[in-house]
Amino acid sequence: MKKLMILGGSSYIVPVISKAHELGCYVITCDYLPDNIAHKFSDHYENISIIDKEAVLEAAKRLRIDGIISFACDPGVVTAAYAAEEMGLPFQGSYESVRILQDKGLFRKFLADNGFNTPKAKRYTDINAPFSDAEYFTWPVIVKPTDSAGSKGVTRADTPAELPGAIDTALKASHNGAFIIEDFLTFKGFHSSADPFTVNGELAFVTYSDHFFDTEAMNKYIPTILVFPSTMEETSQKYLTRETQRLMHLLNMKTGLYNIESCVTSNGLPCIMEISPRGGGVQDCRASGAGVRCPAHRERNTKCARLAIARDVPRRNSWALVRDGPSRKDETRRSLAVNRD
């Protein structure tokens, strides 16, 4: 029986555990919160911090795992890549490539150095250094931890006078003590996300969504609803897909699943904002008013488990969104925007 280690313990992991069991896997979950719900469904629980890569590696070796993933859990992605590389296990990218993708500062630098559209940004560990760079940025700016997830610690600063509070908020949510400052972008249309696969480094499936945000929420930077299909212009979608493929080649990515965020800026530039080599947290996708069925996420969970233990992944496009009738996208968006169930 193959052993699959999953880092994290949230409810998003439960369907992956179920699919791994269907594949005949023994499932081990890890984090430092023993009451998290996913541990009730796994076969074994290890009480260790998922950002402690050496502790995770020790447990992985001791338990003789066959695969490791961090599903819908950003803090564990770099650790999973590290353990996989040290043990010669399958993973979609090298430890160094995954480290670049998961650190917002390193990622922005990689994009800029390789000619991608990206906002002006700088990574810092010194809280005083940004004040000498005030003229570099186009205000307002966004201040973020480089390694947090779920938009934790993200603050907009309209003037340099607001930086100290924003930096303090970012560092409180940071694991590595680094933060990034970047130009605040305004969007043409909607912010967008995609959850594509690569197979041997080639994009096998990409689609785009529209994000809706709740401006009255505690964290207004987390999308409340994702709507498919996206209203983004086809030319922008094709551009982003080409650039995503170029990035996969540059980082020598292999086979795996990604959670990608992108946008088109108000001056018309399509930008890749984030690429995380992990599954996204959407459990259910509903847009029935537009005649769209979304059966994808159950199949995604099976593929994630298969990839982690190096089983073949079927190449059929089971993630395709199927339109059943005439589109009523605008009506659906208006409905979803007011009915956040």
Q: Which DSSP string do the residues of 155-219 spell out, in sequence order?
A: EEESSGGGHHHHHHHHHHT-SSS-EEEEEPP-BSS--EEE--EEETTEEEE----EEEE-TTSSS
Q: Give yes or no: residues 333 and 212 share one domain.
A: yes
Q: Which residues of 313-331 are buried (b: 16+ CB within 10 A; e: fewer)?
A: beeeeebebeeeeeeebee
- Domains of the chain: total: 3
- State the CB neighbour count (10 A cutoff) for residue 25: 23
Could you give the CA distance from residue 24 to residue 161 in angstroms, rounded to a whole number?
Answer: 57
Q: Give yes or no: residues 237 and 268 share one domain.
A: yes
Residue 113 lies in a domain: no
**Residue ranges making up the domain that contains 18:** 3-91
Residues of the chain with pLDDT > 70: what percent?
Answer: 82
Neighbouring-strand partners of residue 44: 28
The pLDDT value given to residue 62: 98
Residue 110 lies in a domain: no
Q: Give yes or no: residues 13 and 83 share one domain.
A: yes
Could you give the CA distance from residue 231 to residue 239 in angstroms, rounded to a whole number?
Answer: 15
pLDDT reading at 91 higher than 90:
yes
pLDDT reading at 141 higher than 90:
yes
Average pLDDT over residues 1-8: 97
Average pLDDT over residues 102-114: 98
Q: Give yes or no: residues 206 and 279 share one domain.
A: yes
> Of 74, 91, 108, which one is at a domain's C-terminal end?
91
Which comes out higher in pLDDT, residue 263 or 149?
263
pLDDT reading at 48 higher than 90:
yes
- State the CB neighbour count (10 A cutoff) for residue 223: 19
The pLDDT value given to residue 331: 38
Residue 306 pLDDT grade (very low, low, confident, very high; cuts 50, 70, 90) = low
Residue 163 lies in a domain: yes
Residue 99 lies in a domain: no
The pLDDT value given to residue 341: 31
Q: Give yes or no: residues 177 and 196 share one domain.
A: no
Residue 225 pLDDT grade (very low, low, confident, very high; cuts 50, 70, 90) = confident
Average pLDDT of the chain to the nearest whole number:
86
pLDDT reading at 40 higher than 80:
yes
- The Cα diameter of the chain in Å comes to 59
Average pLDDT over residues 170-181: 96
Average pLDDT over residues 306-328: 44
Q: Give yes or no: residues 268 and 176 share one domain.
A: no
Average pLDDT over residues 145-156: 90
CATH number reported for the structural domain that contains residue 149 in this entry: 3.30.1490.20
Which comes out higher in pLDDT, residue 213 or 275?
275
Q: Give yes or no: residues 239 and 334 share one domain.
A: yes
What strands lie across the sheet with 259-264, from one edge to the other?
192-194, 259-264, 270-276
CATH number reported for the structural domain that contains residue 73 in this entry: 3.40.50.20
Q: Give yes or no: residues 197 and 321 share one domain.
A: yes
Q: Give yes or no: residues 201 and 269 share one domain.
A: yes
Of 93-107, 151-165, 283-297, which gets the smallest average pLDDT? 283-297
Could you give the CA distance from residue 157 to residue 319 in angstroms, rounded to a whole number?
Answer: 39
Q: Give yes or no: residues 172 and 198 share one domain.
A: no
The pLDDT value given to residue 281: 66
Residue 84 lies in a domain: yes
Residue 73 lies in a domain: yes
pLDDT reading at 240 higher than 60:
yes
* Single pTM value for the model: 0.85
pLDDT reading at 332 higher than 70:
no
Burial class from Cβ neighbours inside 10 Å (0-12, 13-18, 19+) for residue 152 reads middle
Q: Give yes or no: residues 14 and 38 share one domain.
A: yes
CATH number reported for the structural domain that contains residue 330 in this entry: 3.30.470
Residue 96 lies in a domain: no
Q: Give yes or no: residues 83 and 179 share one domain.
A: no
Of 33-37, 210-214, 281-285, which gets the smallest average pLDDT? 281-285
